[in-house]
Chain A
Amino acid sequence: MKIIVPVKRVVDANIKIRVKADASGVELANVKMAMNPFDEIAVEEALRLKEAGKASEIIVVSVGAASAAETIRTALAMGADRGILVKAEGRVEPLAVAKLLKAIVAREEPGLVILGKQAIDDDSNQTGQMLAALLDWPQGTFASKVAVDGGQVEVTREVDGGLQTVSLALPAVVTTDLRLNEPRYASLPNIMKAKKKPLDETTPEALGVDATPRLEIVSTREPSGRQAGIKVASAAELVQKLKTAGVI
């Protein structure tokens, strides 16, 4: 079966972002970008399924500006087979991404779509669930273990209070949690090879999807800062301060 892995280009996880002074958004000019960490885990899981003989081809999809092609190349360098870039300017919301992915699923007919559980920029945690809904496929969200067996996939999920295992009829949608795997690094020869792998381009219009945002972002501001704290010298002094503050 084919596996589709959607990946998103986001601000690098280690960057401390800055809110624009005019409250119009977050400063993205000249900021280091990278593949969303959860998506790296999704690519890695797809590769492992292919290496275990459970998958035949891995197709990486990204929705965004032309620069998102770099993120697809990263996934190809990790070992994915080919890429599809859906070129869209501006903000594309999870619902629109889910609709675009649905159109690509209709064309490629994968057995599994593996997404990250959330993107670390908008922190929405929606796209995988929405895609599953639109396809009327089962969903295995927040996966920490994925086992494909025949027409089923068994997904162990990280839930509040522990782990839950569900069995899903294929085709299915899985979203990855952090502990699913440790993504590999792309080696230099593989980075070179990835440049020759196929990367198709399409657009929301060509896929028949209206990607206009539904939500209006009124403003973006800095979170309220915390008052500077004090350092105490001993455990006894700390206890006294906490008693004064009324929290113990």
Chain B
Amino acid sequence: MATLIIAEHNDAHLNDATAKTLTAALALGQPVDILVAGKQAKAAADAAAQLSGVRSVLLADGDSLAERRAEPLADLVLSLAGKYDAILAPATSTGKNVAPRVAALLDVMQISEITKVVAPDTFERPIYAGNAIETVQTSDKTLVATVRIAAFAAAATGGNAPVETIAAPADSGLSSFVGADLSVSDRPELASARVIVSGGRALGSADKFQEVIAPLADQLKAAIGASRAAVDAGYAANDLQVGQTGKVVAPELYIAIGISGAIQHLAGMKDSKVIVAINKDGDAPIFQVADYGLVDDLFTVVPALTKALAN
């Protein structure tokens, strides 16, 4: 049959997570359709149609889908599910919210955060904060899975799939949108950034966090991340948290500054290509995963590093 992807987008822009999920979906060896559900989401649907390897794009446009709340979105996916034997969503906050709801309504077990497609019914996924990798096989009638986007490369563009408009579901009235408080940033998005500069508790204050981390991130055109300790202490916003309970990232370069390297943090970044640790405690666990470590006071080293990079 075929595979359906629930696209990650904000109506105007298609998120990179969709192209990465497509790579996982194509590995299943079936035709792939992408569902773009939203309000005035034509632009995102057109972008999805350009992804290489897509059979068709289904655009569901309506008020009930404006914020992609789980209840109407799950109803929509369920109405399409009969035509598919696999439904994939990126493991973003939207994907993680809706996919299990769909799985339960189909009476199948979801496979969360797959990192590798071993066979169309067999997948690898991390458990215990990434400290073990489990290979699981499903015999359910429909595969429902979320895809860890840091584990797959984005599919190429250059496709030209047809965009088919489908009806948006009526809102059941179970939930309603009240408001959103989204961080506005000119920096690359954390989940898909090529370089990430991440700060921990050792920064000492929100001001110091900005003062030390931001110039280095600017110099490297990097996204800014943070450890849970830094977020809990109020030095950085919640959505910058990297780790088991925050974002899982795998950039080409991850610079951990004043981060000790608790297992929950390592779970979110240890698949980065090159890891740099700057910490004055030479015994900090972060040095066990760092390719390059610098044992020194971050308040002197980071400005020096920023300066050295500028030259």
Contact = CB atoms under 8 A, between A and B. Distances in A.
Given A19-B132, A215-B109, A217-B135, A232 B292 contact: yes
B88 interface: no
B193 to A, nearest CB: 13
B138 interface: yes
A132 interface: yes
Q: Is the interface of B mostly helix, strand, loop or mixed?
A: mixed
A88 B135 CA distance: 23
B12 interface: no
Contacts of B270: 223, 226
Contacts of B220: 248
A245 B138 CA distance: 40
A56 B110 CA distance: 34
Contact of A129 (B100, B126, B174, B244): B100
Contact of B308 (A131, A132, A217, A239): A239
Interface string B67-108: 101110010000000000000000011101111111111011
Contacts of A216: 136-139
A138 B175 CA distance: 6
Contact of B294 (A118, A179, A232, A247): A232
A17 B128 contact: yes
B128 A11 contact: yes
A222 B126 CA distance: 10
Contacts of B40: none
Interface in B243-262: 244-245, 247, 252-253
A129 B70 contact: yes
B57 interface: no
Contacts of A231: 282, 287, 292-295
A161 B309 contact: no
B93 A167 contact: no
A125 interface: yes
Interface in B166-189: 173-183
Contacts of B182: 161-163
B64 interface: no
A232 B308 CA distance: 15
A227 B287 CA distance: 11
A218 interface: yes
Interface string A114-148: 00011011111111111111101111111010000
Contact of B109 (A95, A164, A229): A95
Interface stretch (B18-26, B154-162, B203-211, B271-279): B271-279
Residue of B131, B191, B290 with highest tally of chain A CB at under 10 A: B131
A183 to B, nearest CB: 14
Given A230-B291, A247-B274, A123 B178 contact: no
Interface stretch (A72-80, A152-160, A190-198): A152-160
Interface stretch (B31-39, B46-54, B231-239): B231-239
5 contacts: A136-B174, A164-B181, A166-B178, A218-B137, A242-B292
Given A123-B112, A138-B174, A163-B238, 19 more contacts: A19-B132, A26-B127, A126-B112, A129-B96, A140-B175, A158-B239, A162-B239, A163-B180, A165-B181, A166-B178, A169-B173, A179-B238, A215-B109, A218-B136, A221-B133, A226-B275, A226-B289, A229-B293, A238-B292
